[in-house]
Amino acid sequence: MTFAAAPTSALDRTVSVERLGDAVLFLTVLTSGIVMFEPAPYDVVLSIHAVVALALGLALPRAVFPAVVLLLLFNVGGILALTRVRWWEGADHGHPAIFVAISLMLALNAVFFAATCAEKPHRMALIMKATVAAAVIVAVIGLLGYGLKIEALMRAGRAKATFKDPNVFGPFLVVPLVYLARRILTERLSRVWTGHLWAIVILAGIFLSMSRAAWGLAAGCLALLGLVLYIDERTVKGRLRLIAVAAAALVGMAALLAVALSFPEVRDLFGERAKLVQSYDGARLGRFARHGIGFLMATELPLGLGPYQFGHIFPEDPHNVFLKSLMVYGWLGFISYAALSFWTLAKLFGPMFLPRPWKSMAQVVWVLLAGHLAVSWIIDSDHWRHFFLLWGLAWAIIALEARHRRSRKRRASTAMAVDRGVIAGDHEGEKRP
């Protein structure tokens, strides 16, 4: 009796530990919407979680090693760039050493997401559900802050909720929006009717952030998602359904926009923010001029300038993550970041269209990464927490795909070996008298 009960007890303990890990991960990701200061609570909690998990034996798949190396080189570039500044002193914008430490934590978190999701693929959906919950909460906070004119939750008349900047609040909401949009476009209404409600709340938050980057990111990602799903869908009926649902969604969003613009205050701010080029973009030392000057400067700065130094020379920061990688992480950081970006997109492209359990997640993550890398040409995204979450999910999928292919090769090799054995046995039988 004792011997029969032991395996069951051990299995129960394993299941309990796994559920506890899932719960801790869910709650940790739920805090990702609170970034009013750095390091954020999410950074510290997730970094501790990652260190403990890796110390307890969380395996790092071989397929993730390229990402680990590139993230490491990216941060080595940042550490070398510290030699260009008085890193032990604080600055008006922040402390250079703390900036680099946060970059290291975010890289560690990306590696952790890749490892834990490759080991337990169901955690990718868990993480996305936690991100949806976090987004709905902070979107509601942003809506209340905007409606009640709570200064702590606004910046320059724009909703920012529990973020430092509306330009981070808005893009953060795009991640769960795209996840929900894929479900709405591909699943039955009865299964995702609550998703429609959450999507409306999230869309309202994105709109009231009055962030052109968030608007462009949302529109671009949704359009790209529709294209990916249309290509992936092989039947005429399925494609017609996609078109019908997308058309209904566009009509609904247009109606919501009309309601929002019926308020004079919202209409005035929208009219101001909706201009493609603002005064601070096209000015003599505006955003675009700084890009050109900065890239020229970078040719003579192999180690970069160091954290926060670009903003001391020019009126503002680079507002271009590729230029910022040159200025803050040096040539090494730029090469590593560019390699990580394009390598990830290339490796993740195939799984989007293959019949795999992780295909839907691959489509969502690829679309979001492509959109974020595009919008990163006009904004600094190197410390966006959700961006590193996407890196981790992308490399988890890449690791799962590599494992799947190795498994297929082993099965094929085994089958061939068995066939050879059978044929050899038949030949032996024929030789006998």
CB–CB of 112/389 below 8 Å?
Answer: no
Instruction: Give the total number of structural domains in the chain.
Output: 1
State the residue range of the domain holding 61: 19-414
CB–CB of 352/228 below 8 Å?
Answer: yes
pLDDT per residue as tens digits for the range 189-209: 888 889 999 999 999 999 999
Report percent pLDDT > 70 for the chain: 88
Cis upstream peptide for 39 (omega within 30°): yes
Tell me which amino acid residue 362 is.
A
Residue 355 within any structural domain of the chain: yes
Residue 361 within any structural domain of the chain: yes
Per the model's pLDDT, the better-predicted residue between 259 and 10 turns out to be 259
Tokens of 130: 């936690």
CB–CB of 269/158 below 8 Å?
Answer: yes
Which backbone phi and psi does 158 adopt, to 5 degrees?
Answer: -115, 145
For residue 16, the model assigns a pLDDT of 74
Residue 1 within any structural domain of the chain: no
Task: Give yes or no for residue 11 having a pLDDT over 50.
Answer: no
Residue 244 within any structural domain of the chain: yes
Residue 428 within any structural domain of the chain: no
- Burial tier of 14 (Cβ tally within 10 Å: 0-12, 13-18, 19+): exposed
Residue 12 within any structural domain of the chain: no
* β partners of residue 154: 159
Span of 16-30, 132-146, 172-186 with lowest mean pLDDT: 16-30
Q: What's the sign of the alpha-carbon dihedral 147, 152, 155, 159?
A: negative
Residue 262 within any structural domain of the chain: yes
Span of 220-224, 243-247, 274-278, 330-334 with lowest mean pLDDT: 274-278
pLDDT per residue as tens digits for the range 238-295: 999 999 999 999 999 999 999 999 999 999 999 888 877 676 666 677 778 888 898 9
User: How far is it, in rounded angstroms, from Cα 169 to Cα 181?
Assistant: 19
Tokens of 87: 């890193």
Span of 8-17, 35-44, 188-197, 408-417 with lowest mean pLDDT: 8-17
User: How far is it, in rounded angstroms, from Cα 262 to Cα 259?
Assistant: 5
DSSP type of residue 88: T
Residue 4 within any structural domain of the chain: no
* β partners of residue 155: 158
Task: Give yes or no for residue 430 having a pLDDT over 60.
Answer: no
User: How far is it, in rounded angstroms, from Cα 190 to Cα 195?
Assistant: 10
User: How far is it, in rounded angstroms, from Cα 220 to Cα 367?
Assistant: 9
* β partners of residue 158: 155
Q: Which residue has the tokens 């069951």?
A: 8
Helix 2-30 to helix 122-148 angle (10° resolution) is: 30
CB contact set of 178 (below 8 Å; sequence gap of 6+): 221, 222, 225, 364, 367, 368
Task: Give yes or no for residue 3 having a pLDDT over 50.
Answer: no
Q: Which residue has the tokens 């059978």?
A: 422
Helix (H, G, I), strand (E, B) or coil at 378: coil
Tell me which amino acid residue 36 is.
M
Report percent pLDDT > 90 for the chain: 66
Average pLDDT value for the chain: 88
CA distances from 66 to 35, 60, 79, 118, 347 (A): 29, 11, 20, 15, 11
Task: Give yes or no for residue 94 having a pLDDT over 90.
Answer: no
User: How far is it, in rounded angstroms, from Cα 289 to Cα 127?
Assistant: 39
Task: Give yes or no for residue 39 having a pLDDT over 60.
Answer: yes
CB–CB of 326/312 below 8 Å?
Answer: no
Q: What's the sign of the alpha-carbon dihedral 156, 159, 163, 165?
A: negative
User: How far is it, in rounded angstroms, from Cα 10 to Cα 131?
Assistant: 32
User: How far is it, in rounded angstroms, from Cα 226 to Cα 219?
Assistant: 11
